[in-house]
Amino acid sequence: MNEQRLLVDIEDGVGTITLNRPEAMNAFADGMRERLLETLESFADDSTVRCVVITGAGKAFCAGGDIVSMAVLQDDNDTEVVEDRMTRAARVIQTMRGMRQPIIAAINGAAAGGGMNLALACDMRLASDRAIFAESFVKIGLVPDWGGFSLLPQLVGTAKAMELMMLGDRFDAAEALRLGLLNHVYSHNEFAREVTRFAQRLAAGPPETLARIKQGVYLGAQESLADGLAYEYRAQRQVFLSDDAREGMRAFVEKRTPEFGSGD
41 with 61, same domain: the answer is yes
Residue 215 has pLDDT above 90, yes or no: yes
58 with 86, same domain: the answer is yes
Last residue of a domain, one of 163, 182, 203: 203
124 with 215, same domain: the answer is no
Yes or no: say if 43 and 92 are a contact pair by the CB < 8 Å rule: no
Residue 171 has pLDDT above 60, yes or no: yes
Tell me the range of 2-16, 60-74, 159-173 where mean pLDDT is highest. Answer: 159-173
Residue 69 has pLDDT above 80, yes or no: no
**Which comes out higher in pLDDT, residue 69 or 254?**
254
CA–CA distances in Å: residue 205 to residues 14, 87, 120, 199, 210: 12, 33, 23, 10, 7
Where residue 10 falls among pLDDT bands split at 50, 70, 90? very high
Name the nearest CA neighbour of 126 among 192, 51, 39. Answer: 192
Total residues belonging to the chain: 264
219 with 136, same domain: the answer is no
Residue 258 in domain: no
Residue 264 in domain: no
Name the nearest CA neighbour of 56 among 4, 100, 108, 124. Answer: 108
Number of compact structural domains in the chain: 2
Where residue 3 falls among pLDDT bands split at 50, 70, 90? low
Residue 199 has pLDDT above 90, yes or no: yes
Upper half-sphere CA count for residue 97 (Cβ side, 13 Å) = 17
Residue 32 has pLDDT above 80, yes or no: yes
pLDDT in tens, 73-130: 777 787 888 888 889 999 999 999 999 999 999 999 999 999 999 999 999 999 999 9
Last residue of a domain, one of 203, 220, 240: 203
144 with 225, same domain: the answer is no
pLDDT of the residue at 250 = 95
180 with 223, same domain: the answer is no
Residue 97 in domain: yes
Residue 183 has pLDDT above 90, yes or no: yes
Where residue 30 falls among pLDDT bands split at 50, 70, 90? confident
58 with 43, same domain: the answer is yes
State which residues form the domain around 246.
207-253
**Average of per-residue pLDDT values in the chain:** 94
Residue 261 in domain: no
Residue 197 in domain: yes
Q: Could you tell me the CATH number of the domain that includes residue 193?
A: 3.90.226.10
Residue 262 in domain: no
Yes or no: say if 180 and 156 are a contact pair by the CB < 8 Å rule: yes
Where residue 1 falls among pLDDT bands split at 50, 70, 90? very low
Percent residues over pLDDT 70 in the chain = 98
Yes or no: say if 66 and 33 are a contact pair by the CB < 8 Å rule: no
75 with 125, same domain: the answer is yes
pLDDT of the residue at 134 = 98
229 with 165, same domain: the answer is no
Residue 259 in domain: no
pLDDT of the residue at 263 = 57
Least confident of 13-17, 78-82, 150-154, 159-163: 78-82
Residue 31 in domain: yes
Residue 17 has pLDDT above 70, yes or no: yes
DSSP-assigned states of every residue in the chain:
-TGGGEEEEEETTEEEEEE--GGGTTPBPTTHHHHHHHHHHHHHT-TT--EEEEEESTTEEE--B-HHHHHHHHHTT--HHHHHHHHHHHHHHHHHHH-SS-EEEEE-SEEETHHHHHHHHSSEEEEETT-EEE-GGGGGT----TTHHHHHHHHH-HHHHHHHHHH---EEHHHHHHHT--SEEE-HHHHHHHHHHHHHHHHTS-HHHHHHHHHHHHHHHHS-HHHHHHHHHHHHHHHHTSHHHHHHHHHHHTTS--------
195 with 211, same domain: the answer is no
112 with 132, same domain: the answer is yes
170 with 231, same domain: the answer is no
Edge to edge, the sheet with strand 14-19 lists 6-11, 14-19, 51-56, 103-107, 124-128, 184-186
CA distance linking residue 68 with residue 250, whole number of Å: 58
Percent residues over pLDDT 90 in the chain = 88
Yes or no: say if 161 and 153 are a contact pair by the CB < 8 Å rule: yes
Residue 236 has pLDDT above 70, yes or no: yes
